[in-house]
Amino acid sequence: MAEKLSFFQKLKNGLKKTRLNVVFGMESLFMGVSSIDEDFYEELEETLIMGDVGVQTTEKLIEDLRAEVDAKHLIHPRDCRSIILDLLKEQMTIPDGAYDFEKVPSILFVTGVNGVGKTTSIGKLAYKYRRQGRSVLVAACDTFRAAASDQLAIWCERAGVPMVSSEAGRDPSSVLFNALTAARARGADMLICDTAGRLHNKRNLMEELAKMNRVIEREGQGFLRENLLVLDATTGQNAVQQAKEFVRTSDLTGIILTKMDGTAKGGMAISVENELGIPVKFIGVGEGIDDLEKFSAKDFIDALFEENA
Ligand SMILES: Nc1nc2c(ncn2[C@@H]2O[C@H](COP(=O)(O)OP(=O)(O)O)[C@@H](O)[C@H]2O)c(=O)[nH]1
Ligand SMILES: [Mg+2]
């Protein structure tokens, strides 16, 4: 009988390629070279950047490491290992109140480009919170593609939550308006909105999102607002660049990092918060309804470096 893998095990398996890409190089530096010199720092820097950690974050990490090494008068690279692990974890702290939307009536507004995993993540979130006893309603605001609301409907059925939709081609803001009205009428305490990742052009998309934002501002009184951007981890630093476009349209409060199963670019999870100023709140590790969890820096680094495995 095939045993169901735990989320941590899936994360660990998923990070195998990143481990080869980043961790292997780091471990051989910690264990293989004899002194902490300029070559050591340089090689460490190169390894981190190659592993999609991002230039800005890598530079900060190296700088912090140098400070610790000097302060503690360390001489052997192996002494750097636990320092680096701690520094990596510090890049991914989740602020207090990050999950307040779980406790009060809230609107989760989910954005991101096509194919990153918005609809899938919404299905997973709806399932997660419905099971926690919340009254969840989903709004199908991706009216651009005809198949989009069918795909979302399948997820909502699996998750056991109702969905508000319209025929394709309708104004997504009107769907959102109807969904907000329905949420209030039903006394729903969580409204999750799917959105299009592509319109006729990028400017259209950003304008449409801005319009939806205004609808929420106007009609969403009494709901806590959570703006989640979905990023595909397999695209590494490109995802970080992509995110910068979305940062301009709304006040993003969190990131959902998908496809952490089987990416070689898992290193981007380390830098994304530092580079964007937005914490990663959830990670996806597969296509199943259970394959989404809250992000934990400790679990992530432990899975990456096979600590307590
Ligand atoms: N392996 C894997 N695939 C995922 C994950 N999240 C989404 N996907 C897949 O990514 C593809 C696009 O997902 P979809 O939700 O339609 O993206 P959207 O266009 O942003 O709504 C689908 O084939 C999903 O099954 C994940 O965490 N892991
Ligand atoms: Mg979609």
In this predicted model, what pLDDT tens digit does every residue of 20-45 receive, in sequence order? 888 999 999 999 888 999 999 999 99
Residues 98-107, mean pLDDT to the nearest whole number: 97
For residue 118 and ligand 1, the question of a CB distance below 6 A is answered with: yes
- pTM higher than 0.85: yes
For residue 261 and ligand 1, the question of a CB distance below 6 A is answered with: yes
Q: What are phi and psi of 189, to 5 degrees?
A: -110, 5
Assign 107 to helix, strand or coil: strand
CA of 151 to the centre of ligand 2 (A): 8
For residue 150 and ligand 1, the question of a CB distance below 6 A is answered with: no
Q: What are phi and psi of 41, to 5 degrees?
A: -60, -40
Q: In the chain, what percentage of residues exceed pLDDT 90? A: 75
For residue 115 and ligand 1, the question of a CB distance below 6 A is answered with: yes
CA of 232 to the centre of ligand 2 (A): 13
Domain boundaries, the chain: 8-90, 100-305
Measured from the Cα of 262, ligand 1's closest atom is 1
Q: In what order do the strands lie in the sheet with 136-141?
A: 163-164, 136-141, 190-195, 106-111, 224-232, 254-258, 280-284, 292-294
Q: What are phi and psi of 171, to 5 degrees?
A: -65, 120
The continuous run of DSSP H or E covering 132 comes out as none
Residues 16-21, mean pLDDT to the nearest whole number: 88
CA distances from 109 to 193, 212, 241, 276 (A): 5, 9, 20, 18
CA of 244 to the centre of ligand 1 (A): 21
Instruction: Give me the pLDDT at residue 159, please.
Output: 98
Q: List, in sequence order, the alpha helices (H) in the chain.
A: 7-14, 16-18, 24-32, 38-50, 55-72, 80-90, 118-131, 148-159, 172-186, 202-219, 237-249, 268-276, 297-305
Q: In this structure, which topology does domain 100-305 adopt according to CATH?
A: Rossmann fold (3.40.50)
Measured from the Cα of 123, ligand 1's closest atom is 15
Ligand approaching nearest to the C-alpha of 290: 1
Instruction: Give me the pLDDT at residue 109, please.
Output: 97
Point out which residues pair with 141 in neighbouring strands. Answer: 195
What is the residue with the minimal CA distance to atom 6 of ligand 1? 117
CA of 142 to the centre of ligand 2 (A): 7
CA of 35 to the centre of ligand 2 (A): 51
* Dist CA 115 CA 235 (whole Å): 11
Q: Which CATH class is domain 8-90?
A: mainly alpha
Is the pLDDT at 200 greater than 80? The verdict is no
Residues 158-170, mean pLDDT to the nearest whole number: 92
Point out which residues pair with 111 in neighbouring strands. Answer: 229
Instruction: Give me the pLDDT at residue 1, please.
Output: 42
What is the residue with the minimal CA distance to atom 25 of ligand 1? 287
Mean pLDDT across the chain, nearest whole number?
92
Is the pLDDT at 201 greater than 80? The verdict is no
Residue 242 — very low, low, confident or very high, per pLDDT cuts 50/70/90?
confident
Greater confidence (245 vs 55) lies with 55
Q: Please list all protein residues whose beta carbon sits less than 5 angstroms from ligand 2, which is an ion.
A: 118-119
Compute the Cα dihedral for 141, 147, 149, 154 and give only its sign: negative
Residues 264-292, mean pLDDT to the nearest whole number: 93
Is the pLDDT at 218 greater than 90? The verdict is yes
Residue 56 — very low, low, confident or very high, per pLDDT cuts 50/70/90?
very high
Residues 253-258, mean pLDDT to the nearest whole number: 97
CA of 248 to the centre of ligand 2 (A): 21
Measured from the Cα of 230, ligand 1's closest atom is 20
For residue 149 and ligand 1, the question of a CB distance below 6 A is answered with: no
Greater confidence (241 vs 161) lies with 161
102-116, 170-184, 249-263, 295-309: segment of lowest average pLDDT: 295-309
Say which residue the tokens 């699996």 belong to: 158
Instruction: Give me the pLDDT at residue 308, please.
Output: 61
